[in-house]
Amino acid sequence: MTSSPDTGASSPDSEAPSSFPDGGAPSPFPDSEAPSPFPDGGVPSPDNEASPPGDGTPSPGNGTSASDDLFQLVFRSAPWTFQSLYVTARLGLADLLGDGPLTSDELAVATESDADALYRFCRAVAALGLFREHPGRIFELTSTGEAFRGGGLAQFTIVNGAENFRSWADVMYSVRTGKPAFDRVYGMPAFAFLDRDEEARKVFHTMVGRGTVPPAVDSCDFSSDTTVVDLGGSVGTLLAHVLRERPELRGVLQDLPSVVGEAPTVLAGAGVAGRVEIVGRSFFDGVPAGGSTYVLSRVLHDWGDEDALRILRNVRAAMTEDSRLVVIDQVIPEGGGFHPGKFSDLQMLVVLGGRERTVEEFRGLLLRAGLKIRALRPPADDPAGSPRTEAVIEAGV
């Protein structure tokens, strides 16, 4: 149960999403040189009805003092920002606006909401840049809002706006004890909660199973492989992507029985169902033997070191001398400076009791499991300029 779309783990074995969409995230400090979206830098006038692309508050660095900068940082971190995104996703507002502009009254009818309250809400969301407001209380999607329609990102927001958000209210507990606040808030571990809550499990599976494939997987060379084993692979989105590119490959998908039920549909839709064996079992109970490549994508960060070591030792026991393990996860760089993985690491602590790791921490963990790093491919920005933070670690015996 992490904080990222298009990624994730609706079960202990699932591909846990990164805490940032596509594994990446923009700097928390927007460009301080950006001009005000309003004439003369002021508030919108009656002639300027279109909503600004941002939230209209000054960026850190624009203040006249350090206290001004700190105020803006606190303001932008306030719960109303993310919770507004959560409600937007929960009500499906972006999907409703997908076919064209609607009035707030029409949206209120469609979502069974109070008309005045929903108008005020949409007005605020427009200030965040997802909608554009027109005269007559008419709203339309912006390009940012288009990216919020359905799929992994919206589901990621729902997950992080509900169960995870409550856990973060008790982050002090995690900092002081080193234990996940989720367990204290809900009285059970996150994965046990998902097993019991059908709605949360469905949302979580949608986020991790129907989200985008980690971009890092495209840097992996599968040309010498015969069988790719995707461990904790949810409904098979990543495996389907790999097999679709390599018709000669066969695959094995392993995840919990409650997770892999939808896998045949996903695999059939990709045209690869006939080449995949589905194994409904926890990787804590064993891993299929004989694979040429084993993949753990967005999985190890769900777990503390001892549980991660159990997983890796099971993989090692299944590997041959020629097999390799491919780990796709965020890798925290050494030293200071902003990096999304440092906040994803806190998310793992607060919700799952897991952690993001540095290269050296991965190296030590793999060595304890009898594996050595053979190659490390750092993340690279995609052609569109979106930052990527997930790296590929290849290991062997």
Mean pLDDT over each residue of the chain, to the nearest integer: 80
Q: What is the pLDDT of residue 8?
A: 37
Residues 144, 130: contact at Cβ < 8 Å? yes
Furthest C-alpha separation in the chain: 71
Q: What is the pTM of this model?
A: 0.71
How many CA atoms lie within 13 Å of 353's alpha carbon, on the beta-carbon side? Answer: 18
Distances (CA, A) of 278 to 183, 231, 257, 288: 31, 11, 9, 10
Distances, alpha carbon 88 to alpha carbons 148, 151, 174, 211, 253, in Å: 9, 13, 29, 18, 34
pLDDT band at residue 133, thresholds of 50, 70 and 90? very high
- Taking each helix axis from N to C end, the angle separating 104-111 and 115-128, rounded to the nearest 10 degrees, works out to 110
Tokens of 182: 């989720």
Q: Which residues does the annotation mark as catalytic? A: 301
Q: Where are the domains of the chain?
A: 79-151, 162-203, 215-396
Query: Which segment, 74-88, 192-206, 263-277, is predicted with the most confidence on average?
Result: 263-277
Name the most confidently modeled range: 40-44, 262-266, 387-391. Answer: 262-266
| CA separation for the pair 16, 209 (Å, rounded) | 10
Residue with tokens 């109970």: 285
Give the residue, 368 or 217, on which the prediction is more confident.
368
Question: How many CB atoms within 10 Å of residue 222?
Answer: 18
**15 or 234, which is more confident:** 234
Q: Quick: pLDDT tens for 149-183.
A: 876 677 777 777 766 778 888 899 999 999 999 99
43-68 pLDDT, tens per residue? 333 333 333 334 444 444 555 677 77
**Structural class in CATH, domain 79-151:** mainly alpha
Domain 215-396, CATH class in plain words: alpha beta
The model's pLDDT over 77-130, given as tens digits with 9 standing for 90+, comes to 667 788 888 899 889 999 999 999 999 999 999 999 999 999 999 999 998 899
Q: Are 377 and 395 in contact (CB under 8 A)?
A: no
